[in-house]
Structure 1
């Protein structure tokens, strides 16, 4: 059965990305603007610090019924009762996560090569992160810059929900959705915006125009 992934605007948030503003405040503003799923990504925190941020963020998200995804850290995902986890090629593989975390409701997996579209890790995942669509300063250890043509190619190969990430903003949201994305993952264009609620609303509006 095809996994249901109803989300359209996916915020990837970290304390660093919020530029000195409280992470929970930025998340709440973004939700009011149209974000409907949030990933907490804290690559440099120890597990306990990461966990406390996740629990605190959960208290905000539950008020709005917005699911929490944890980036990479399976222990934090489990202990915070997150909705799911997102992993890349250098993290725990989806098959191992399924075996060790039966309660996981949403498992995302980043795609760096076309050949990954037919492996067991992709088949095990609930959605695929296509990263980056365009170059970004947020993540510089990626292999492939997909562009719109690459996204269209991936869309032609798989029916899995596709979450596009990499310099997503209000100006390109419409084109990326039209190229085959099911959802846009945004970092700087919302977290770093002067008004995160307004920024999210503008991106969401262009997503809705495309679907």
Structure 2
């Protein structure tokens, strides 16, 4: 049975994880309240993703926090990851489901209304909606949609959703007000001097926003 929480979604960035490794950053972030982790590294190649992914799976064992691999289904399968996240230019979600089976988590990036209307809830478990703001961690992103765009796409997609794109601590309240289940962050945790404290501040803000 698939169990996952989108409240605080950490997207790992190897370029930012210099002071703390990706494993160290992940474990500190989980201690601070991160509920799901995505391994994203466009430069590592499949073998590189498998290597770090297996380290992460070993470290995360017993935490109850799922590991999602971005885009690379071969790496996700080899790692034994909990799921896969795909974008509009990646492997089609139906093909991913056929290969992964029913027990794995599949997330899909949504950037506009046309895509949101095509999401198949029998295939996709959650949607990542954005970018809310422009962000240097993903320079090839589509135009920013803001919080109004986020709220509209959440309604259209009708699936559990996580907002992404340049989000920081001060954006927690408007993300939750827009109707998202949570927010995905990169630099708000990766590369911070104390990833655990950074995650805890975000987690506490999420609890406050929902109260």
- Interval containing the TM-score (normalised by the shorter chain): over 0.9
- Give distance in 1, aligned partners of 2:205 and 2:114: 31
User: Within 1, Cα distance between the matches of 2:186 and 2:24?
Assistant: 15
- Offset at 1:159? 2.2
Give the alignment's Cα RMSD to 1 decimal: 1.7
Counterpart contact for 1:129–1:165, Cα < 8 Å: yes
Question: Structure 1 residues 112, 52: CA separation in 2 closer, same or farther (over 3 Å shift)?
Answer: same
Q: C-alpha distance in 2, partners of 1:104/1:146?
A: 32
Task: Count matched residues.
Answer: 209
Other-structure match for 2:63: 64
The answer to whether 1:193 aligns with 2:192 is yes
Q: Within 5 A, what are the aligned runs for 1:20-35?
A: 20-35=19-34
Give the distance between the partners of 1:84 and 1:76, measured in 2 at CA. Answer: 11
Secondary structure of 2:84's counterpart equals strand
Q: In structure 2, what is the Cα distance between the partners aligned to 1:5 and 1:63?
A: 14
Alignment partners' CA distance in 1, 2:77 and 2:120: 20
Q: Please identify runs of 4+ aligned residues in structure 1 that moved more than 6 A.
A: none
Are 1:178 and 2:177 matched, yes or no? yes
Shift of 1:124: 2.3
How far 1:10 moved relative to its partner?
0.6
Alignment of 1:130-149 (within 5 A): 130-149=129-148
Unmatched segments (≥5 aa) in structure 1? none
Measure, in 2, the Cα distance between the counterparts of 1:24 and 1:92: 27
Equivalent residue number for residue 104 of structure 2: 105
Query: What is the TM-score normalised by the length of structure 2?
Result: 0.93
TM-score w.r.t. the length of structure 1 is: 0.93
SS in 1 for 2:108: strand
